[in-house]
């Protein structure tokens, strides 16, 4: 008697097992991995031992970062070179005739609020600076459009630079001085007398 196999294994049974990733994607991934490693290697100078020398700890590197004071003064120098340098010169010496010096100026070494007031509104001489009288030139309100941060930076810079030996001034001090300028209802450039009348400290 012949057996009836008609319902057996006509098609193979479904089996479980790893489906294969398409070859293209597989090769693509290997390629990406290779390029990635190559890039990391390249950006780190092939991990050369001397690249990070002489530092071995992140703390050592951090200890060399500029201080807040150095950053402020550096920023002030940039602002000075835009807003003030045309008249007072990079060396702070002025012109020797119409423009008074900021280097060695008793005004710059004096009360910072007075400097804010001058930078805010400008100044018309006569004015005595470092033993010499000026008045032929006029100072425009060169700091009028500076933010309080920028004003603090540029004034900190001129107070410290050129051996002036002063200290930084804060944004709060700038805001307080600006308020005093507003309260004085001064319009137009200051005169030395006007500064004095508004209560700003004037060097002797």
Q: Which helix (H) or strand (E) holds 106?
A: helix 106-109
65-104: contacts with ligand HEC (CB under 6 A): 83-84, 86-88, 98-102
* CA 194 remoteness from chain centre: 34
Distance CA 191, CA 193 (A): 5
**3-state secondary structure (DSSP) of residue 129:** strand
Q: Which is nearer to ligand HEC, 70 or 203 (CB)?
A: 203
Distance CA 123, CA 105 (A): 15
DSSP β-ladder status, 123-124 and 138-139: antiparallel
Distance CA 55, CA 27 (A): 40
User: Cβ(201)–Cβ(110) under 8 Å?
Assistant: yes
Q: Which is nearer to ligand HEC, 133 or 182 (CB)?
A: 133
Q: Which is nearer to ligand HEC, 41 or 98 (CB)?
A: 98
Quick note: the x/- pattern for ligand HEC over 32-61, rule CB under 6 A, is: ------------------------------
Exactly one of 127, 160, 169, 181 binds ligand HEC (CB under 6 A); that residue is: 127
**3-state secondary structure (DSSP) of residue 95:** coil
Q: Identify the residue whose tokens are 């308020």.
A: 179
Is 115 near ligand HEC (CB under 6 A)? yes
135-164: contacts with ligand HEC (CB under 6 A): 135, 137-140, 142-143, 154, 158
CB of 157 to ligand HEC, least distance (A): 9
CB of 191 to ligand HEC, least distance (A): 9
Is 121 near ligand HEC (CB under 6 A)? no
**3-state secondary structure (DSSP) of residue 171:** helix
Closest CA to 92 of 104, 82, 83: 104
CB of 173 to ligand HEC, least distance (A): 14
Exactly one of 73, 117, 119, 152 binds ligand HEC (CB under 6 A); that residue is: 119
Question: Which tokens go with 119?
Answer: 């930078």
CB of 190 to ligand HEC, least distance (A): 9
Distance CA 114, CA 178 (A): 10
**Positions that interact with ligand HEC (CB under 6 A):** 83-84, 86-88, 98-102, 105, 107-108, 115, 118-119, 123-125, 127, 129, 134-135, 137-140, 142-143, 154, 158
């Amino acid at each position: 008697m012949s057996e009836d196999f008609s319902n057996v294994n006509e098609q193979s049974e479904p089996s479980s097992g790893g489906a294969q990733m398409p070859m293209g994607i597989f090769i693509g991934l290997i390629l990406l991995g290779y390029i990635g490693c190559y890039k990391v290697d390249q950006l780190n100078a092939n991990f050369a031992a001397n690249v990070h020398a002489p530092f071995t700890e992140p703390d050592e590197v951090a200890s060399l970062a500029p201080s807040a004071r150095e950053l402020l003064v550096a920023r002030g120098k940039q602002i000075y070179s835009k807003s003030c340098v045309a008249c007072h010169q990079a060396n702070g010496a002025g012109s020797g005739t119409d423009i008074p010096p900021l280097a060695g100026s008793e005004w710059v070494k004096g009360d910072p609020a007075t400097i804010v007031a001058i930078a805010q509104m400008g100044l018309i001489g006569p004015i005595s600076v470092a033993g010499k009288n000026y008045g032929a030139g006029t100072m425009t309100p060169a700091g009028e459009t500076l933010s309080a941060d920028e004003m603090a930076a540029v004034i900190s810079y001129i107070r410290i630079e050129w051996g002036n030996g002063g200290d930084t001034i804060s944004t709060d001090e700038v805001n307080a001085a600006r308020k005093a300028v507003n309260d004085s209802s001064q319009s137009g450039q200051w005169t030395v007398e006007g500064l004095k009348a508004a209560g700003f400290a004037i060097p002797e």
